[in-house]
Structure 1
Amino acid sequence: MRGNGDDPVRDFLQDANFPRLPRGVMFGIVIVLVGLSMLLTVFYQVEADEVAVVQRFGRYQRQTDPGLHFKWPFGLETVTKVKAQRVLKEEFGFRTEQAGVRTRFSNRSYPEESLMLTGDLNVADVKWIVQYRISDPVKYLFGNRNPRKALMDASQIAMRTTVGDYTVTEVLTERRLEVANEVQQRLQTLLDLYDTGLRVVTVKMQNVTPPSDQVKAAFNEVNEAQQEKERKINDARKKYNEQVPLARGEAERTIAQAEGAQINRVNRAKGDVARFTALLTEYTKAPDVTRRRLYLETMRAILPSVGQMYIFDQEQSSSLLPFLDLKRGGGGLPIAPQKEQ
């Protein structure tokens, strides 16, 4: 039977001689296709770093953890997988073209992100990164239309607000860590307010410089001077910690020696006083005997240290007599002078 030309497709089907299949075979083929489709759409796999959000007729139903799960087939339930365990990163003021051992950055600048005004009305070029995770997959999918854009805008708001509370010197040098911590707190507050389902892991200040080369050079000198100042302060504290304990030890040793000398002198003085008092008591009782004893004791103490002694005697014709030194032995006996005939 030939077609009339009004419908080419119908004419082709009418002219083609396709073999006619039995109804049972056709029914079996349909059953197999339906079964395969059910098998393909009823199971799904969630990876280790993912969380699956299941929707039924477009409405949220449940979350599923990593592993093999099943759902209603034929699109009655749909699954959206979210990388909830992965730490994501956004860059501001610069872009990384290739990460690795030798990271390559883009030469393009992003002044609309990095240039901002400080509290002392100076302009700073601030580059930073934000690392974050998806903490609530439901809010991430349904709470905000574009969570990534909300994160980008909120990060710039938090950074500009915080930098505006500090001077350019503080942002460039000693208070960078404090600025980053404050930005992280403000950013997390904004993300919770916008129902993004994101949690900030960290905010890192990559590079903060003045905008122009001349101003940059001046601020680099200020930064170097600040670092030199800190280094000298640390060196001074090191020397202080080394010298002060030594000086204190020397002072304590000198004080101990002085106290020992004081005790010694006092004890000797007390001993001398006691000896003089006892001597005075004996002298009062027997003046002549005590005087002679003192004389003899004094001579006994002095004579051993005298090299040569002479005795003057008025009864001798020669009044000068050598004293016999018994310590020298018999070979050195002096000869007495002879009287003149």
Structure 2
Amino acid sequence: MPMDWTPPPRGTGREPDLNKVINDFKSKIPGFKKAKGLWVVVLIVAAIVLGSTAYYTVGPEENGIILRFGRFVRESGPGLHFKLPLGIENAIKVKTGRVFKEEFGFRVISPGVRSRFSEKGYAEESLMLTGDLNVIEVKWIVQYKIRDPQLWLFAVRDPVAAIRDLSESVMRQIVGNRLSDQVLTLQRVEIAAKAQVELQKLLDSYKTGVQVVTVKLQDVNPPPPVQPAFNEVNEARQQKERMINEAQEAYNREIPKALGEASRVVTEAEGYATEKVNRAQGQAKRFEDVLASYLTAEDVTRRRLYLEAMQRMLANTQKIYVVDEQVRGLLPLLNLGAGKGRATNQDLGQPQGKGVK
């Protein structure tokens, strides 16, 4: 459509009036007023679209991954952030602060104080072969966190499937290297700890960006057809352990007692032997001294030995009878039973100076 407008003549020395030019332009274009309202609506819609796609919010348990035309450019933490609008940059939120759980051999139907579980259809996950060629049913859980959001999104096609496959492989390897009795009773904690370490090594080697929080065995049982036989074996084993513990208790009670009694007898025998030896040595030394004195003074030593022997003998005597050479009967000399002094020859009515030598 040709416009009927001519510029002002040149060389007049004046600048044209801008408002007059705009008004002349509007008057020459038909329907300009209607188009003006449409453009305003378009601008408002464009502003809303641009504004709504130019920011994003990351939650407290999340990390934001920003992609520009599908390529990773940066990572952002919790809070309000801005990005290029109109799909130039896209924000993917990854929950790095939450602990996720994978269940093997069962599924939780309704969690709660008394959770309900479903075990049908998961026998392929739980049935395993032990080192002694017995089949057991192992149920366990794996709890993990996303440590590196970039690796979680781009290093592995399906990280959840990788966690499940690697966990099942590790558990089957560990259970296959042990006896069924060890898996059922003795080494459950050790198996769970070893599975956590081995699973973390594999996940790190595949660069999944996952941190294993814990691996826990929920239930380990023999298959239902053979559970009665296993229960009988376990009862017999428990009875055996109980009898061994009772015997060990009796052993721990009686053996120290016998050892203490033996030690007491040995100590008393050693003390008795020491006493006898010391006494024999003392008597031998006394005999040697007496012999030396006897060789030096024979009469004095003989008299002293006689007096000492008589003193020891009379110390335990209650009555003493002295036999005189001229009297054929017994002559009482002392009344030791009275306990108060000694009787004299005059008290007894006997002549003095006879009876004692």
Q: 1:81 to 1:254 in 2, by over 3 A?
A: farther
1:41 paired to 2:61: no
Equivalent of residue 271 in structure 1, options 278, 282, 285:
282
In terms of mean alpha carbon deviation, does 187-196 or 134-143 score higher? 187-196
Cα distance change of structure 1 residues 296 and 61 upon mapping to structure 2, 3 Å threshold: same
From the superposition, tell whether residues 136 and 166 of structure 1 become closer, same or farther in structure 2 (CA, over 3 Å). Answer: same
The equivalent residue for 1:13 is none
Shift of 1:106: 2.1
2:145 partner amino acid: R
SS of equivalent to 1:144? coil
Q: Please identify, of 145-154 and 21-30, the stretch whose mean Cα deviation from structure 2 is larger.
A: 21-30
Inter-CA distance 24–254: structure 2 relative to 1 (3 Å threshold): farther
Question: 2:315 is paired with a residue of what secondary structure?
Answer: helix
1:219 lines up with 2:230 in the alignment = yes
The Cα RMSD (Å) is 3.2
Secondary structure of the 1:119 match is coil
**What per-residue deviation string (whole Å, max 9, x for no partner) do you get for residues 161-181 of structure 1?**
332222322322223333333
The aligned runs of 1:27-106 (5 Å cut-off) are 27-106=39-118
Q: Structure 1 residues 27, 237: CA separation in 2 closer, same or farther (over 3 Å shift)? A: farther
- Counterpart in 2 of 1:111? 123
C-alpha change, 1:39 and 1:307, in structure 2 (3 Å) is: farther
- Structure 1: state its 5+ residue gaps: 1-19
1:71 and 1:302 map into 2 onto residues whose CA distance is 126
1:164 aligns to 2:179 (yes or no): no
The amino acid of 1:71's aligned partner reads K
Tell me what 1:10 maps to.
none
Contact 2:127 2:138 in 1 (8 A): yes
Q: SS where residue 127 of structure 1 aligns? A: strand
Q: Contact (CA 8 Å) 2:318, 2:337: kept in 1 or not?
A: no
Q: Which amino acid aligns with 1:291?
A: R
CA contact (8 A) 2:333 2:343 kept: no
Alignment of 1:188 with 2:200, yes or no, is yes
TM-score, L = length of structure 1: 0.80
Q: Is the 8 A contact 2:146 2:210 kept in 1?
A: yes
In structure 1, what is the equivalent of residue 330 of structure 2? 320
Q: Which amino acid aligns with 1:157?
A: S
Residue number in structure 1 paired with 2:310 = 299
Native 8 Å contact 1:96 1:105 kept in 2: yes
Please, which moves more after superposition, 177-186 or 138-147?
177-186
How far apart are residue 237 of structure 1 and its match? 5.2
For the pair shown, which has the larger CA radius of gyration, 1 or 2? Answer: 2
Taking the aligned partners of 2:350 and 2:266, their CA distance within structure 1 comes to 66
Supply the distance in 2 between the matched residues of 1:262 and 1:88 (Cα, whole angstroms): 79
Other structure's SS at 1:85 match: coil
Q: Greater CA deviation, 28-37 or 245-254?
A: 245-254
**Would the aligned equivalents of 2:318 and 2:336 in 1 still touch at CA under 8 Å?**
no
Instruction: Select which of 216, 230, 248 maps to 1:204.
Output: 216
**Distance in 2 separating the partners of 1:301 and 1:165:** 89
The answer (yes or no) to whether the contact 2:67–2:89 under 8 Å persists in 1 is yes
Give the residue type in structure 1 aligned to 2:233: V
In structure 1, distance between residues paired with 2:249 and 2:186: 21
Is the CA contact 1:173–1:223 (under 8 Å) kept in the aligned structure 2?
no
The answer for the alignment partner of 2:291 in structure 1 is: 280
| Cα deviation digits, residues 63-118 of structure 1 (max 9, x gap) | 22223322222221111111212221111111112222212222535212112222
Identity %: 48
Greater than 6 Å deviation, 4+ residue runs: none
Instruction: Work out whether 1:177 is the aligned partner of 2:167.
Output: no
Q: Does the residue aligned with 1:328 lie in a helix, a strand or coil?
A: coil
- Deviation, structure 1 residue 248: 5.0
CA offset at residue 25 of structure 1?
A: 4.7
Partners of 2:97 and 2:246 in 1: how far apart? 46
**SS of 1:97 mapped into structure 2:** strand
Aligned to 2:164: 152
Alignment check: 8 A CA contact 1:321 1:336 kept:
no
Correspondent of 1:133 among 123, 138, 145: 145
